[in-house]
Amino acid sequence: MSRLDWKGLVPYELLEPNWRLWSFIAILVVGFWALMTFPVSQLSGYIDPFYSPTILIVPLPGAFRLTCYAYRKDYHRHLFNHPLGCANPDRGDAVSRKYTGERSGVFQLENFHRYFLYAGLAILPFFYYDFAHSLAFADSLRLGSLFLLANALALTAWTLSCHAFRHIVGGNVDCYSCVAGGGARKDIYDRQSWLNKHHEALAWISLLTIFFTDLYLRGLSAHLPIDTTLLRF
């Protein structure tokens, strides 16, 4: 049953604010404007996450994020208004508008999300390479290195919490006791299911860490005294 507002008249889901969608669009616009206007690819051993080797295949991870379930909910509800809330008898659409889910038009492209996941998994090691490169460059652990590591970890957590990854690790098994290693696979599936519950939050955190790391390196390029050495090897 749908939750109602305090007057008991309007389904709660129809009142959900659209700040997440527009903040997402604003972050992308500002971020890519900065990338095009003030490029900073590498500085003092730090490789900007936007200019690491992943930039060579950026359309693939970009498509992976765009088709992510965490973002689909926002642009389905607040951009296309189709539907505002699936569980409601009145979804907020026109009565004559037939709900087809993701089975028609451009929404068919969202079904390629599982394939974009493979590209996302393939580029994760590059972010850890960026972290290792920053350590080797200065033979020390610096504050910027920690930001690169935090960014890599956030992207890893978001990628591994993906619904499509959940299907790969165990969601496609009907009987765990009927397959070899079923017990271990069930344990992995349960752990990933816990991570999957936080998928939407991880999607936003990982997006923000990318842009924060980029802004941090831009601050260094502007000669701001924000970096410090924490440990020498």
Note the Cα 201 to chain centre separation in Å.
9
Instruction: Compute the chain's Rg from CA coordinates.
Output: 21
Q: How do residues 176-209 score in pLDDT, each as one tens digit?
A: 777 777 778 888 888 988 998 998 889 889 888 9
Closest by alpha carbon to 150, among 219, 225, 61, 210? 210
Whether 168 contacts 90, CB under 8 Å: no
CB burial of residue 65 (10 Å; 0-12, 13-18, 19+): buried
Over residues 64-82, the mean pLDDT reads 70
Q: Strand, helix or coil at 94?
A: coil
How far, in Å, are 17, 111, 145, 203 from residue 72 at the CA level?
15, 12, 32, 12
pLDDT band with cut points at 50, 70 and 90 for residue 1: very low
Tell me what the pLDDT averaged over the chain comes to. 76
181: left (phi over 0), alpha (psi -120 to 50) or beta: left
Q: How do residues 97-140 score in pLDDT, each as one tens digit?
A: 666 666 666 667 777 777 888 888 888 898 999 999 999 999 99
